[in-house]
Structure 1
Amino acid sequence: MLKRVIKITKIPSAVRLWLKEQLGNIKSVTALKGATSSLLYKIEAENKTAVLRLYNNQEWLNKEPDLAQHEAASLDWAHQVLPSKVPKVLAVDETGKYCDLPAVLMSFVEGDVQIQPQTLDPWLRELASILSTLHSTPFPQEFDWHYFAYSDVETLQVPEWTRHPDLWKKAIHLSQCLPPEDQQRIIHRDFHPVNVLWSDGRISGIVDWVNACIGPIGVDVGHCRMNLVALFGVEAAERFLHYYCTFNPTFRYTLYWDLVSYLDFVYPGPPEVYQGWQDYGVTDLTKEIVTHRLENYLEYLFLSQT
């Protein structure tokens, strides 16, 4: 389905005026890459560097009109947990009253997206460590957003493109069962390598918090594993899980959340090459490679349980 998106080639005057009220004189505005469902800009002011997100995906806004409020609340919480690694909210235009689109203005976090590490294992270990730190913090009493699966498990059908129709039937059936108990925390809900910033070999930031919600931590683990499989293969996802369990010994792995994450990530398919991977230098992936890796992963998930 094509998503109707409001295109903006430059910052409108209304947005510039709002930015000036928040930051003072604006020196430069630079579009940032990697954002696929919103517009993202680096704002250089006289005494501060900030990031502006404009929500321009009308289909998404129709479903979730509180996107700016949601991200701001998520950032407020996460900044308390990881103050040096999560942007601080500077201003919010929840309804687009000033910017014509809902907007969040946040502090700039130094670092770069690195999805082609020279040595994979330390990189995976660092990812697992920061996620376990995030999951170690109980959620506040008041947080209005709660986990839901992106796929309607009651209506899922086995896709024609898969070479494992029997495993798909099994995965769909298991996903329709009662979810197992899992630690409930505020989860990022879109934790994967493109949303992580690095500096000097260490993680310096976690960004894109608009999907954060109270939910089972296995969802964050499962979603990151899906991305790692697509980028590197099954072994990378297994190493990440090993390190996560080491850093969070109270975590009890269950197949269920990996299967739900798989269906959310792949269905209806066939799998595509995520634009964010290409934006940050991964140019050797094809649809065929990604599909092959994900099909192997589904097979592996069931074999690992026998």
Structure 2
Amino acid sequence: MITTGTTGNCEWPDGEGRTATGAWVADNLAEGEHVTGAARLRGGWTSEMRRLAVTGPAGERTLVLRSFVKPFFVRHAPGLLTREADVLRLLAPTDVPAASFVAVDATAEHCAHPSLLMSLLPGEVRVDDDEDAGRRARLLADQLLRIHRVPVTGATRPRAYQAWTSAARVTPPSGTLRPGLWRRAVDVIRQAPPVHRGCFLHRDLHPGNVLFTGTGDDLRISGVVDWVETSWGPADLDVAHCSSALALLYGAPAGMRFADLYATAGGTLADDPSAHLYWRLLDALAFTPDAEKVAGPWRELGRTDLTPDLLTDRLEDYVQALFDRYA
């Protein structure tokens, strides 16, 4: 998950602006351009994000440098960053508001860390529990549908989706008062995946990966970020992931409403309630046993109310609501 928003001016990490990474960035700028400043972007936990101010003969522009520094993501960077670079190129001619690709060094051949250079999108991440939360959810549903309709060819079709949990890997929250609920949920995802029609998936769309501008009637989505997990699979899976995030951020009812918002926007989900339940639980159970592990970036953005106990309660309430509606 990557979110954005500045924390103020800062220097490049480990002197990178003067060494390998800085030299690589400079090599990928237009003639006469140079970096005049770098600022950390807050909220991401898979990678370090920096906003780079660039000046040159044509004027000023702003780029974003994404660098994988954690060992796990460094190991997987060749696949993740190469995929994101390919997706940004694919989305360039579409109406999906994604960053423009500039350069990628997925194996850290030239940089201190595996890195991707791209344009800066306008707007900011908004996860506040305010009067615009409902409007943002409707815009998310409409945006997700447009992502699902991105045309691909045999050459540009992304990899098949990967499940982020399995029946063998699920651990219920410690101290749960509803162990039977978790056993029942695990039994659902123990089954074979339902037959489904595939489409282009963002695979990690949620409020932390979407930028907004304006308020009220002028509220708009200005950017969608973090395309490293882009996949091919059922629309239900993308809807499920955004639903889980909304349930954690705002409560189970918000998570339950999102599928209806997607359908109202014109999206098509599984006709069989049991199939829909499978995809929703497959995503929700990936947040166990520690739902609060995703809350760090949200807290950086002001949601200090998201305590571990609150998130665990919301996740359990959401899982129960899924059974109440779809079982």
Q: TM-score, normalised by structure 2?
A: 0.85
Between 1:57-66 and 1:211-220, the stretch displaced more is 57-66
Is the 8 Å Cα contact of residues 256 and 322 (structure 2) preserved in structure 1? no
Structure-1 residue corresponding to 2:309: 288
Choose the corresponding residue for 1:227, options 240, 245, 253: 245
SS in 2 for 1:228: helix
- Does 2:28 align with 1:22? yes
How many residues end up aligned between the 2 structures?
A: 298
Choose the corresponding residue for 1:261, options 252, 266, 283: 283
Letter in 2 for 1:174: V
Structure-1 residue corresponding to 2:8: none
Structure-1 residue corresponding to 2:185: 171
| Cα distance in 2 between the residues matched to 1:243 and 1:11 | 45
| Cα distance in 1 between the residues matched to 2:270 and 2:145 | 13
1:146-186 per-position Cα deviation (integer Å, ceiling 9, x unaligned): 21112133454555432221121121111121211333122
Structure-1 residue corresponding to 2:135: 122
- Does 2:311 align with 1:305? no
Is the 8 Å Cα contact of residues 77 and 114 (structure 2) preserved in structure 1? no
Letter in 1 for 2:240: G
Choose the corresponding residue for 2:230, options 191, 194, 212: 212
| Cα distance in 2 between the residues matched to 1:272 and 1:96 | 28
Is the 8 Å Cα contact of residues 88 and 98 (structure 2) preserved in structure 1? yes
SS in 1 for 2:93: helix
Is the 8 Å Cα contact of residues 64 and 120 (structure 2) preserved in structure 1? yes
Is the 8 Å Cα contact of residues 159 and 269 (structure 1) preserved in structure 2? yes
| Cα distance in 2 between the residues matched to 1:181 and 1:78 | 28
| Cα distance in 2 between the residues matched to 1:158 and 1:196 | 29
Letter in 1 for 2:314: R
Structure-2 residue corresponding to 1:4: none
Is the 8 Å Cα contact of residues 141 and 261 (structure 2) preserved in structure 1? yes
Structure-1 residue corresponding to 2:5: none
Q: 1:291 deviation in Å?
A: 0.9
Structure-2 residue corresponding to 1:102: 114
Choose the corresponding residue for 2:149, options 133, 136, 143: 136
Is the 8 Å Cα contact of residues 234 and 297 (structure 1) preserved in structure 2? yes
Q: 1:63 deviation in Å?
A: 4.3
| Cα distance in 1 between the residues matched to 2:15 and 2:205 | 29
Letter in 1 for 2:279: W
Letter in 2 for 1:67: L
* Percent of residue pairs bearing the same amino acid type: 31
Structure-2 residue corresponding to 1:182: 196
Q: 1:60 deviation in Å?
A: 2.6
| Cα distance in 2 between the residues matched to 1:68 and 1:270 | 26
Structure-2 residue corresponding to 1:56: 69
RMSD: 2.0
SS in 2 for 1:288: helix
- Given the superposition, is the C-alpha separation of residues 273 and 35 from structure 1 closer, same or farther in structure 2, using an over 3 Å criterion? closer
1:205-243 per-position Cα deviation (integer Å, ceiling 9, x unaligned): 000111111122211111111111111111212222211
Structure-2 residue corresponding to 1:11: 16
| Cα distance in 2 between the residues matched to 1:305 and 1:17 | 55
| Cα distance in 2 between the residues matched to 1:230 and 1:270 | 8
Q: 1:71 deviation in Å?
A: 1.3
Structure-1 residue corresponding to 2:269: 251
- Does 2:56 align with 1:43? no
Between 1:290-299 and 1:52-61, the stretch displaced more is 52-61
Between 1:284-293 and 1:8-17, the stretch displaced more is 8-17
| Cα distance in 2 between the residues matched to 1:154 and 1:93 | 36
Is the 8 Å Cα contact of residues 156 and 172 (structure 1) preserved in structure 2? yes
Structure 2: runs of 5 or more not aligned: 1-11
Is the 8 Å Cα contact of residues 30 and 43 (structure 1) preserved in structure 2? yes
- Does 2:156 align with 1:146? no
Is the 8 Å Cα contact of residues 81 and 134 (structure 1) preserved in structure 2? no
| Cα distance in 2 between the residues matched to 1:141 and 1:162 | 46
Is the 8 Å Cα contact of residues 40 and 53 (structure 1) preserved in structure 2? yes
